[in-house]
Amino acid sequence: MNTASILRVATNAPLSRLFDYLAPTDTAVAPGCRVRVQFGRQTQIGLVMEVANQSELPISKLRSVTEVIDTSPLLAASDLWLVKFTSDYYHHPIGEVVAAALPALLRQGRPLQDVVQRLSLTKAGLQTEPAQLSKRAKRQAELLTLIQGFDDPTFTTLDEAMPGWRRLKKSLLDKALVVEITTIDSGRDKNSLTVAEQESGPPLNSDQSEALASIRRVDGFRTTLLDGVTGSGKTEVYLRLMADEIAAGRQVLVLVPEIGLTPQLVRRFERRLGFEPVVLHSGLSDSERLSAWRGAREGSAQLIVGTRSAIFVPMRTPGLIIVDEEHDASLKQQEGLRYSARDLAVARAKKLNVPVILGSATPSLETLQRCREGAYEIAELPIRAGNAVPPLMRLIDLTRFDAQDGLSEPVVKAITKNIDSNGQVLIYLNRRGFAPTLICGGCGVVAECTRCDSRMTVHATSGLLKCHHCGAQRNVDAVCGECGSHCRPLGHGTERLEDALQNRFPGESISRIDSDSTRLKGTMNKALAMATSGETRILVGTQMLSKGHHFPNLTLVVVINADQGLFSTDFRGAERLAQSLVQVAGRSGREERQGEVIIQTAFPEHPFWNEMFGGGYSKVASNALLEREKAVWPPFSRIALVRASATRREDAHEFLQHALKLTQQAAIADVRVLGPVGAPMERKAGRYRAQLLLQSRDRHSLHRLLAILRHSLEGDKAARRVRWSLDVDPIELF
Ligand code: ADP
Ligand code: ZN
Ligand code: ZN
């Protein structure tokens, strides 16, 4: 037996296993360091996951690592644990989990510490008048002036201020007017910024104090659901908990579902805590991301606020994890590594032995059930904080009132009344674009996407038909390709609603907020600021506008159409609909004036409305839990999907038939396998999609089967013609 030091490396391969390499003899390499390795015919950057002293392969067959990139580990043991846990739980290739956990620049092999180069003036440089330089050296003089105007400018600053300056550098160096200095940017400057004035918060009400006390009662790991109606002051409770941890020198990680929610929340944290939180989200540049990541790793970032991928950020002194809007679907990644940031937050907190708070006004049924079972604690904030009272809700029967341009008469009246009394109105329609499709007035044919089983949406501003599933676009047809008759838009999207409102309420300031109107950087913040100040009188928007925002003047919310949700084929349909209605309703009447919510439906007799108006979200949730228990759906069982797609339908189905056979051979009792079936929208972007559903009351049985499946399917010939993936705890069944 050889006692050489073996590095077990996660490489960038779609495989679950680690690969063994020999460690260099002259440097010690610890788990968590990056190494460059020869992988097949390529050189790759891998992460050392384990150091061992033996390999399953003969030592003579092992290659040595080409280069050791880090002298000390990037990831500590508990961070590596999270990577390993994620790979195991989601049955996903470990190298791809590492990729999710490391910022792009580190994946590319850049050093952790950024080297910063600057030019600094010498004594001569300080004293030399640029005009004294030779007349032929005009550009040099210009550069000298520039440097004299800055305090040791970095090369990046100079790049921006004077493109082409680098060619002149040598001359100034030769004349001994400047020197080059190289420093290491440790990222420590992150978070040292303090804001001028620290605001104090309102005194807590008794529900808040009780919630806070109950959370503080336990040291170490515990999961608490903070179940508080919208505007009940959950954020105030977070703020007290954060302040505790920060004062004790520990770090706090806050996960939020969407980037749209962050600016307001981050400013609030900042004003109250007195320093700038470190923010991690997809809108950052690579170097901003690295800098934030580094601050978190070193512990200088005391508060980290991020979207789902921030769950992987390393922390030196973790003290608390908060998941805000824990029910939100965007906390689950829906492609590639399909992880739930909420579920990983609980697992990570347990490993770190720190508390985790899940906050929501509409908790997921999974979380509610865990509370019922006693696995999670629950703290409730049943009433709105301050003087705000819950909004009045009413239903408008669209079979009794005509809805011109989507707006029924009672809705128009209510909007008028609200505006006349200086209120603000939010109109919610979860459909962007002008109209959901284009129809021919002659033969009735509708515009379909050629690559998906779906219709093209009409976008009036750009004059294009767009497919929201694959991104395909083409010009709006004026006449029908089949019969030559005129085509017209069918149905309503936010653009059309905005037009209609503009016509009905001329002169009012109307603003549309959806992913089309906020595509340009900064437009979202500007629109939100105008809405918050009350300058905008009517807001039209998709779900982007429905969550988390606090618009003080908003007194009326109109839901244009809730009916899509009533007839959803997904077992989560009722839960989702109730959540989105409660969230959007929660924007109304958050301060002094009572709010109003009007929902239009063509199905007022649907039993859902009885539950919703009779007992609110908790009634919908407890009924849905009863139904799920009967049908053995989650949270009363665990499910997973094997998804496959291919350019030919048969290939996807054949592959899943093969997977089905594997599950039969594995012969694990108590796992039910359903399918394969085509997805309801079977064709997307030219590929046919199908899936196999695995379901079990026993998590361990399900995971045993998934492990067998992944192992057999990796490298399987049958997999060559398809793209396949496993989705553990899927939240969309299709
Ligand atoms: P949530 O996070 O539950 O939506 P917030 O913490 O944002 O609720 O509180 C909603 C509003 O009520 C905010 O304007 C907040 O400043 C205010 N608020 C919260 N707690 C109190 C309190 N104890 N007394 C007075 N106002 C409060
Ligand atoms: Zn036609
Ligand atoms: Zn398409």
- Give the pLDDT band (50/70/90) at residue 350: very high
Distance from residue 548's CA to the centre of ligand 2 (Å): 44
- Whether cis (ω within 30° of 0) applies to the bond prior to 153 is no
Query: What's 340-407 look like in SS3?
Result: EHHHHHHHHHHHHCCCEEEEECCCCHHHHHHHHCCCCEEEEECCCCCCCCCCEEEEEECCCCCEECCE
Fold of 392-435+491-628: Rossmann fold (3.40.50)
Average pLDDT over residues 284-301: 91
With a 6 Å cutoff on the Cβ, whether 232 touches ligand 1 is yes
What tokens appear for 167 in the block? 């060619």
Nearest CA to ligand 1 atom 15: 233
CA distance 367 to 325: 12
Distance from residue 398's CA to the centre of ligand 2 (Å): 29
Nearest CA to ligand 1 atom 21: 385
With a 6 Å cutoff on the Cβ, whether 586 touches ligand 1 is no
Q: Which ligand is nearest to the CA of 481?
A: 2
What tokens appear for 79 in the block? 């961070």
What tokens appear for 578 in the block? 């109730």
CA distance 612 to 729: 27
Q: Going by DSSP bridges, is the β-strand pair 554-559/424-428 parallel, antiparallel, or unpaired?
A: parallel
Distance from residue 447's CA to the centre of ligand 2 (Å): 10
The answer, yes or no, to whether residue 186 has pLDDT greater than 80, is no
Residue 601, pLDDT score: 94
Domain over 193-381 is classified CATH 3.40.50.150: no
Distance from residue 467's CA to the centre of ligand 2 (Å): 20
Pick the atom of ligand 1 nearest to 236's CA: 6
- H/E element, 691: strand 687-696
What SS3 class is residue 688? strand
Q: Which ligand is nearest to the CA of 550?
A: 1
Q: Which ligand is nearest to the CA of 444?
A: 2
The rounded percent of the chain whose pLDDT value lies above 90 is 65
Pick the atom of ligand 1 nearest to 548's CA: 4
List pLDDT tens digits, range 683-714.
999 999 999 999 999 999 999 999 999 999 98
Average pLDDT over residues 138-154: 88
Residue 27, pLDDT score: 81
- Give the pLDDT band (50/70/90) at residue 521: confident
Report if pTM > 0.85: yes
With a 6 Å cutoff on the Cβ, whether 227 touches ligand 1 is no
What SS3 class is residue 130? helix
Mutate to test the pocket of ligand 1, among 225, 234, 235, 362 (most ligand atoms within 8 A of CB): 235
Q: Which ligand is nearest to the CA of 484?
A: 2
Mean pLDDT, all residues of the chain:
90
Residue 263, pLDDT score: 76
Q: Which ligand is nearest to the CA of 470?
A: 3
Distance from residue 734's CA to the centre of ligand 3 (Å): 16
Question: Dihedral of CA 241/243/245/251: which sign?
Answer: positive
Distance from residue 138's CA to the centre of ligand 1 (Å): 61
- Which residue, among 273, 256, 144, 266, has the nearest Cα to 199 in the 3D structure? 273
Distance from residue 284's CA to the centre of ligand 2 (Å): 47
Say which CATH architecture domain 2-107 belongs to.
3-Layer(aba) Sandwich (3.40)
- List of E strands, 507-565: 510-513, 538-541, 554-559
Residue 372, pLDDT score: 96
392-435+491-628: same fold as 193-381? yes
Distance from residue 575's CA to the centre of ligand 1 (Å): 25
Residue 284, pLDDT score: 85
The answer, yes or no, to whether residue 34 has pLDDT greater than 90, is yes
Residue 195, pLDDT score: 58
Using an 8 Å Cβ cutoff, are 643 and 725 in contact?
yes
Q: Which ligand is nearest to the CA of 440?
A: 2
Using an 8 Å Cβ cutoff, are 322 and 305 in contact?
no
Mutate to test the pocket of ligand 1, among 230, 236, 553, 582 (most ligand atoms within 8 A of CB): 236
Top mean pLDDT of 33-37, 174-178, 551-555 is at 33-37
Average pLDDT over residues 287-303: 92
- Give the pLDDT band (50/70/90) at residue 269: very high
With a 6 Å cutoff on the Cβ, whether 236 touches ligand 1 is yes
Using an 8 Å Cβ cutoff, are 577 and 608 in contact?
yes
Q: Going by DSSP bridges, is the β-strand pair 19-22/6-10 parallel, antiparallel, or unpaired?
A: antiparallel
Average pLDDT over residues 387-395: 85
CA distance 79 to 202: 37
Distance from residue 452's CA to the centre of ligand 3 (Å): 4
List pLDDT tens digits, range 219-231.
899 999 999 998 8
The answer, yes or no, to whether residue 554 has pLDDT greater than 80, is yes
Nearest CA to ligand 1 atom 19: 233
With a 6 Å cutoff on the Cβ, whether 208 touches ligand 1 is yes
Distance from residue 264's CA to the centre of ligand 1 (Å): 14
267 versus 305: the higher-pLDDT residue is 305
Amino acid at residue number 270? E
With a 6 Å cutoff on the Cβ, whether 583 touches ligand 1 is no
Residue 196, pLDDT score: 57
List pLDDT tens digits, range 425-455.
999 998 999 999 999 999 999 999 999 999 9
With a 6 Å cutoff on the Cβ, whether 532 touches ligand 1 is no
With a 6 Å cutoff on the Cβ, whether 284 touches ligand 1 is no
Residue 166, pLDDT score: 85
- List of E strands, 113-260: 114-121, 178-185, 223-228, 251-255
Nearest CA to ligand 1 atom 6: 233
507 Cβ neighbours under 8 A, 6+ residues apart: none
- Give the pLDDT band (50/70/90) at residue 25: confident
- Give the pLDDT band (50/70/90) at residue 402: confident
What tokens appear for 621 in the block? 């949730």
- Give the pLDDT band (50/70/90) at residue 732: confident
The answer, yes or no, to whether residue 250 has pLDDT greater than 50, is yes
- Give the pLDDT band (50/70/90) at residue 156: confident
150 versus 321: the higher-pLDDT residue is 321
The answer, yes or no, to whether residue 323 has pLDDT greater than 60, is yes
- Give the pLDDT band (50/70/90) at residue 194: low
With a 6 Å cutoff on the Cβ, whether 235 touches ligand 1 is yes
Residue 80, pLDDT score: 97
Distance from residue 205's CA to the centre of ligand 1 (Å): 10
Residue 650, pLDDT score: 94
Pick the atom of ligand 1 nearest to 201's CA: 16
**Integer CA distances (angstroms), 225 to 360, 440, 445, 480, 690, in order:** 8, 51, 50, 55, 36
With a 6 Å cutoff on the Cβ, whether 566 touches ligand 1 is no
What tokens appear for 543 in the block? 């779900």
The answer, yes or no, to whether residue 520 has pLDDT greater than 70, is yes
Residue 4, pLDDT score: 64
Residue 190, pLDDT score: 46
Neighbours of 39 (CB within 10 A): 18
Domain over 638-728 is classified CATH 3.30.70.600: yes
By CB atoms closer than 10 A (0-12, 13-18, 19+), residue 626 is: exposed
With a 6 Å cutoff on the Cβ, whether 205 touches ligand 1 is yes
Residue 66, pLDDT score: 92
Residue 185, pLDDT score: 62
Domain residue ranges of the chain, discontinuous segments joined by +? 2-107, 114-185, 193-381, 392-435+491-628, 638-728
Distance from residue 473's CA to the centre of ligand 3 (Å): 8
Residue 523, pLDDT score: 84
